[in-house]
Amino acid sequence: MTRYERRAALTRCALALCGLLFACTAPPTFPPAAPSTGKRPPPTGREFHLSDLAKADIDNAAEVHLQECLASARLLMEKLYRRNPHEWRKGNYPSMDAAVARAFDARSEFHFAELGNRRGADAIVLALKPEYSGDRVFAFGVGLASMVFLAYNGKMEFYLTESLDPQKLYNSARNIEIAAWKLANTRDGRGEPLLLSNDLAGDVRNLSFEREFGKMIAYQDVMAQIAAQRTNRVIRRVVQSLATAAFLPI
């Protein structure tokens, strides 16, 4: 290794250490939403942070993909509450917005006692159990968002010294497909949906849920490919029937 290469390597290490030190002091932040609009907020820029010096382009890309995916999860939770307003009342919240805000409080990192601290697929399974008497939308929204969060190793910021597991990202995309299918098809004993989502009846069809699920799947699949190229890892692809599929490990 030449003197220049050694100096460059030391510089990268110093910058990465700087980024990690800043990361340790900054709490995670989840994406905000525009309350009571049913729409995602427009993209906004942010100020430059010293820790940005310890990020590569792929780290910035990972943060953007994660933020966008969580924004879709939050919007899906809002939409589910609008179609199932009785659910947030089960949690004694003053409003739908209060329930969503609690679910996406960054300090919780998606740990909630009323869900038995279940996250990811476990929370989604709980939400869609016919016998479950709690807030199904809260459980489903927490499960969906934390599934994405866990695929990114439970972090919101990324630096040069870190790498993402492309298999986790790929598996989370497949799990989102399974979650969307289960949401649309799980019924109670009377054959009624446990949670109302897409509306296929009437002249105007509401497929907004499918569109947001599709965005989330695309975000995770694209990021899986980017991570695979960075780590030179091969993604083990899985073909499952949605009707019988079990959630994949993350």
The mean per-residue pLDDT over the stretch 198-203 comes to 66
Per the structure, the complete domain to which residue 175 belongs is given by 3-32+51-231
- Looking at the domain assignment, is residue 37 inside a domain? no
The per-residue b/e assignment along 104-134, b for 16 or more CB within 10 angstroms, e otherwise, is: beeeeebebeebeebbbbbbbbbbbeeeeee
Instruction: Confirm whether 65 is domain-assigned.
Output: yes
Instruction: Give the H or E element holding residue 174.
Output: helix 166-185
Q: pLDDT at position 28, please?
A: 57
- According to DSSP, residue 202 is labeled S
| Per-chain mean pLDDT for the chain | 83
Number of folded domains in the chain?
1
Average pLDDT value for residue range 88-92: 92
pLDDT at 205 over 50: yes
Is residue 227 situated within a structural domain? yes
Flag whether 192 is in a domain.
yes
Is the pLDDT at 98 greater than 90, yes or no? yes
pLDDT tens for 108-161 read 999 999 999 999 999 999 999 999 999 999 999 999 999 999 999 999 888 776
**pTM of structure:** 0.81
